[in-house]
Amino acid sequence: NKRSRVVVNFMRERLPKSILDTLCQLGEAASRLDCNAYVVGGFVRDLFLYRSNEDIDIVIEGNGIEFARTFARESGARIHTHEKFGTAVIIFPDGFKIDVASARMEYYQFPASLPVVEMSSIKMDMFRRDFTINTLAIQLNPGNFGRLIDFFSSQKDIKDKVLRVLHNMSFVEDPTRVFRALRFEQRFGFTIGKLTSSLIDNAVKMNFFKRLAGKRVYAELKLILKEENPAPTILRLLDYDLLRVIHPDLIIETDFKTLLDTAKKVTDWHDLLFIDETYERWAVHFMTLIRHCGLKATREICTHLTIAPRYAKMFGENRLSTEKQLSLLERRKRMTHADVYNLLKGFKTEMILYMMVCTTSRMAKKRISHYHTQLRNVTITISGKDLLKMDIKPGPIYSKILQAVLEAKLNGVLRTREDEFNFARERVARIRTKQPEISVDRKTG
């Protein structure tokens, strides 16, 4: 009908052709298997919000696993299945993934307090979701391609920019939805509906979170920290006194907001300069969040959230070991480039950025950024082989000479390969005659 055509045109305008083609193929496959297929949830929400989203979630009215298996076979993809939940993931050879779920009555369990009503299975599938804005579905079968299904006034809420739960038991069913609400509120610039807001207040008051496993809190927290700008959501968690769910004595000081904003600025600065460099941006924000926690509290947080040892070490020992470096960078008036290099070498990008977030000293910030943009990339061309050719007997002296060459280069004393050779020769001669060192370091601010 006319409405479907409007939606199809809209999809043509908004979606990459490859995605649109895939959606058509999914619909055709569903019709061949005599079942209905819908693309649902965040993908459709983002289509109407003009935001790109390539996470395709398909709901099949019927057996989703059988559908996924057939579709994968026909298109040369593999699948992973979850028989218990009737779900599957289709994985294409290029790594692209599609989630498939089955809308079937046997998969739904509702709290006894909710009235049992007659519902089609797609409606039931939408009804168990978190917020109205996530309950849109677009049918994909050829005859009905583009039929928009909106049982719960989702379009109106998207237009009004408001976040609402579908029923009063939503946060009882799943308290992590409180975190999701605040994350979506900030990401989309929506407001939380009045009733939904009072349900959140109630969830906090009744502490629904105490039965929530630390692992799930961590997963939600990570999703928040991976947002483009995590700071506003974190501040909303603080508003609702929800940071205590991470740890009862998470230490929040007056610089909290400034720190979070600085973390955004510092990571943005880095990402602009080093587009191709991968590091864990969210980890910088996590460390900022626990900035004032000591080793004991950090360890408790890591245990509670079941954080993997690698990260627990980064957030605990490694993070706290930067204090010493920071205080030197902040206090020592005269430091050569080589001094700065020697202080910071070995620290990963996450830790370098964390240090930049923590310091309020302009001098220290300048030193760290100089290290990260220039010094860490300085290399020398002279090697052990060259020293061998100079008839120097191999031994610990090699690393001493090479280190001295590197330091001189960091300090701007050496420019060419020739300079490096001359410098090394001079060093060797001096060591051989045991002359005292002549300082060649250029002092910097």
162 phi and psi, to 5 degrees?
A: -130, 145
Closest CA to 243 of 281, 211, 217: 217
Residue 42 interacting with ligand CTP (CB under 6 A): yes
Pairing of strands 137-139, 97-102: unpaired
Please tell me what DSSP assigns to residue 185: H
- In 303-444, at which residue ranges do the beta strands (DSSP E only) sit? none
As measured in angstroms, the least distance from the Cβ of 198 to ligand CTP is: 19
Among 147, 164, 177, 372, binds ligand CTP (CB under 6 A): 177
From the list 171-179, 196-204, 280-288, 302-310, the region that binds ligand CTP by CB under 6 A is: 171-179
Contacts for 359 with CB less than 8 Å, ≥ 6 apart: 326, 329, 330, 365, 368
As measured in angstroms, the least distance from the Cβ of 102 to ligand CTP is: 14
Among 27, 41, 214, 230, binds ligand CTP (CB under 6 A): 41
360 phi and psi, to 5 degrees?
A: -105, 0
Closest residue to ligand CTP in the complex (CB) = 42
Query: Which residue type sits at 205?
Result: K
Residue 372 interacting with ligand CTP (CB under 6 A): no
Query: Measured from the CB atom, is 61 or 339 closer to ligand CTP?
Result: 61
**Could you give the string, one character per residue 129-158, with x where binding to ligand CTP holds by CB under 6 A and - elsewhere?**
xx---x------------------------
CB-CB neighbours of 278 under 10 Å? 7
Query: Measured from the CB atom, is 41 or 214 closer to ligand CTP?
Result: 41
Q: Give me the residue label for tokens 């109205």.
A: 132
Query: Measured from the CB atom, is 220 or 420 closer to ligand CTP?
Result: 220
**Could you give the string, one character per residue 192-211, with x where binding to ligand CTP holds by CB under 6 A and - elsewhere?**
--------------------
Q: Which of residues 204-263 bind ligand CTP (CB under 6 A)?
A: none
In the sheet with 137-139, reading across from the earlier edge strand, the strands are: 78-82, 87-91, 97-102, 56-61, 36-40, 137-139, 148-149
Q: How many residues bind ligand CTP (CB under 6 A)?
A: 10
As measured in angstroms, the least distance from the Cβ of 283 to ligand CTP is: 19
| Residue 349 near residue 339, CB atoms below 8 Å | no
DSSP H helix total and E strand total for the chain = 22, 9
Residue 174 interacting with ligand CTP (CB under 6 A): yes
Q: Footprint of ligand CTP on this chain (CB under 6 A)?
A: 41-42, 55, 129-130, 134, 174, 176-177, 180
